[in-house]
Amino acid sequence: MRYVALFILSMVFWLLITFKFSAANIAAGAVASAITAAIFGRYYFYNVYKFLQPRRWVWFIVYLTTFIWACIKANFDVAYRVLHPAMPIRPGIVKVKTTLQSEFARTLLANSITMTPGTITVDIIGDEMYIHWIYIRSEDPAQYTRMVIGRFEEYIKKFAE
């Protein structure tokens, strides 16, 4: 089943990126997608039926809007720090704990953290994420965990786990 899911995903991707609907193109795409699915199928989508639950899609859209908004804010934040004559930075690497379990969800959280204002994920060891922060606003672990992870963790938990 999960091979079929990856095959469909690769096929859609192929059609979007080539954008030609001749028979020859579709056949080439099918062959390429079949090879991709055969090689990488066992790494992704441990439970395909999660895709069919509409509740997850709603939370995914909520997450996406929050993410895009955080992304735009991140850009203005970096632009402000870069253009400010005194360069207000206070960098450091902090440790935050995550409650997410699946690897897919953790990858998504790490990617979201990298795109939000002033933070880059350095490493994940066990339950702990190490995050480089350009301006550390608080010394208290509970408080900075909330600032860094924000609302992403609960949204990701609702649609990806």
Partner 1 sequence: MNDMAAIILISVGVLFNIFGCIGLIRLPDMYNRLQAATKCVTLGCCSILLGVLVHFGIGSAGFRALVAIPILFFTATVAAHALVRGAYHFGTKMDKRSVKDDYREAVK
User: Residue 16 or residue 52: which is nearer to partner 1 going by CB?
Assistant: 16
CA 161 – CA 157 distance, rounded (Å): 5
Taking CB under 8 A as the criterion, which residues in 8-67 touch partner 1? 13, 16-17, 19-20
User: Residue 49 or residue 127: which is nearer to partner 1 going by CB?
Assistant: 127
In 7-147, the DSSP E strands lie at: 92-97, 119-125, 128-133
Tokens representing 49 are 């039926």
Cα 126 to the center of its chain, rounded Å: 18
User: Residue 1 or residue 125: which is nearer to partner 1 going by CB?
Assistant: 125
120 touches 158 (CB < 8 A): no
Among 103, 113, 128, which Cα is nearest to 43's? 103
Tokens representing 151 are 């609302």
Among 46, 93, 137, 154, binds partner 1 (CB under 8 A): 93
142 part of the interface to partner 1, by CB under 8 A? no
- Window of 23-31, 36-44, 81-89, 147-155 that interacts with partner 1 by CB under 8 A: 81-89
Among 8, 38, 58, 79, binds partner 1 (CB under 8 A): 79
**Which residue has 């206070």 as its token pair?**
90
- Window of 42-50, 52-60, 118-126, 146-154 that interacts with partner 1 by CB under 8 A: 118-126
Torsion angles phi and psi, residue 142, rounded to 5: -65, -40
122 touches 131 (CB < 8 A): yes
Closest distance to partner 1 from the beta carbon of 88 (Å): 10
Give me the residues that bind partner 1 (CB under 8 A), please: 13, 16-17, 19-20, 71-72, 74-75, 77-79, 81-83, 87, 89-95, 110-111, 114-115, 118, 120-123, 125, 128, 130, 132, 134, 136
